[in-house]
Amino acid sequence: EPGLHLVATPIGNLKDISFRALSTLAAADAVAAEDTRVTKTLLAHYGISTPLVAYHEHNAQVMRPHLIARLEAGAALALVSDAGTPLISDPGYRLVAEALERGIKVTSVPGPSAVLAALVVAGLPTDRFFFEGFLPSKSGARRARLAELARIPGTLVFFESPRRIAETLEDCAAVLGSREAAIARELTKLYESVRRGRLDALAAALREEEPPRGEIVLLIAPPGAGAEEASEAELDAQLEAALADH
Ligand code: SAM
């Protein structure tokens, strides 16, 4: 079918791909992929030989008009990222916005995303959550961002790199207080693990350990969900809220 198809791909376990994802990839005129080598391996695994084109941060400006032109000429294009759902901390948002502006049909072929895979195994509230993606890499900016998120009444979901997770936990404990948290690592893969505990305890443990390996999602309980001691930032926020109510 002509149009732009946003196709979710596995986040580790190659079996996590839908029948519809496979048939969409097979039927497309081309698959736009973040890293064509990664996607080539996936397509080869399923015997799919659709041509690949690279679409990533560094060539998006140049490639977007080409892809739009093909779509306007009636092509069926699939967009995938290296793993999970495209556009979620991955390229594609501008392409989708531009396609929609030009009346091109955009469809979602849903499937895995590390966000929901982690949320549902974390053991933290799932009724409301806030996906932040990657926090800033410098501690000052990271703490400032965390302070902005401190009052959000839902589970916080972050992507984090293994080399930064220890410092990030320190900052989270300092700004958010001793909330319940979970570190979901290597989901759907051989060494999948979920570590649960309070932010300060997790921070103290990781300080002593070798940096973990693999891919990580960090999840933090909403304020007031447990018997945590409120951090200074939270007390300030609560005071401000109380004063604003009067
Ligand atoms: N679009 C992707 C999705 O929907 O899952 C996310 C892309 S983002 C660039 C990559 C980050 O997702 C990793 O740094 C890690 O935080 C998280 N991630 C991806 N796969 C994961 C897995 N199998 N287990 C845990 N976290 C994962």
pTM: 0.92
- What the block records as the tokens of 90 is 């991955």
Band (245; pLDDT cuts 50, 70, 90) = low
pLDDT of residue 117: 98
- Cα 240 to ligand 1 centroid, rounded to whole Å: 36
Q: What percent of the chain is predicted at pLDDT more than 90?
A: 90
- Cα 186 to ligand 1 centroid, rounded to whole Å: 9
pLDDT of residue 244: 75
pLDDT digits (tens, 9 = 90+) for 142-201: 999 999 999 999 999 999 999 999 999 999 999 999 999 999 999 999 999 999 999 999
Mean pLDDT of 11-22: 98
Q: Is 87 in the pocket of ligand 1 (CB under 6 A)?
A: no
Given a contact cutoff of 8 angstroms between Cβ atoms, the answer to whether 170 and 148 are in contact is no
- Tell me if residue 231 falls in helix, strand or coil: coil
pLDDT of residue 239: 72
Give the angle 193-118-88 at the CA atoms, nearest 5°: 130
Q: Is 187 in the pocket of ligand 1 (CB under 6 A)?
A: yes
Given a contact cutoff of 8 angstroms between Cβ atoms, the answer to whether 169 and 206 are in contact is yes
- The span from the CA of 149 to the CA of 127, in Å, is 17
- What the block records as the tokens of 105 is 């049909």
Given a contact cutoff of 8 angstroms between Cβ atoms, the answer to whether 149 and 130 are in contact is yes
Q: Is 79 in the pocket of ligand 1 (CB under 6 A)?
A: no
ipTM of the complex, rounded to two decimals = 0.99
Band (225; pLDDT cuts 50, 70, 90) = low
Q: Is 217 in the pocket of ligand 1 (CB under 6 A)?
A: yes
Q: Is 90 in the pocket of ligand 1 (CB under 6 A)?
A: yes
- CA-wise closest residue to 109 among 64, 71, 79: 79
- The span from the CA of 228 to the CA of 53, in Å, is 49
Q: Which residue has the tokens 């979920």?
A: 194
**DSSP class of residue 84?**
B
Which atom belonging to ligand 1 lies closest to the Cα atom of 134?
Answer: 16
Q: What is the mean pLDDT of the chain?
A: 95
Mean pLDDT of 229-237: 64
Strands 180-185 and 193-198: antiparallel
Q: What percent of the chain is predicted at pLDDT more than 70?
A: 93
Which atom belonging to ligand 1 lies closest to the Cα atom of 12?
Answer: 23
Q: Is 12 in the pocket of ligand 1 (CB under 6 A)?
A: yes
pLDDT digits (tens, 9 = 90+) for 125-138: 999 999 999 999 99
Q: Is 11 in the pocket of ligand 1 (CB under 6 A)?
A: yes
Strand runs labelled E in the chain: 3-7, 30-33, 52-54, 76-80, 106-109, 129-134, 155-160, 180-185, 193-198, 216-220
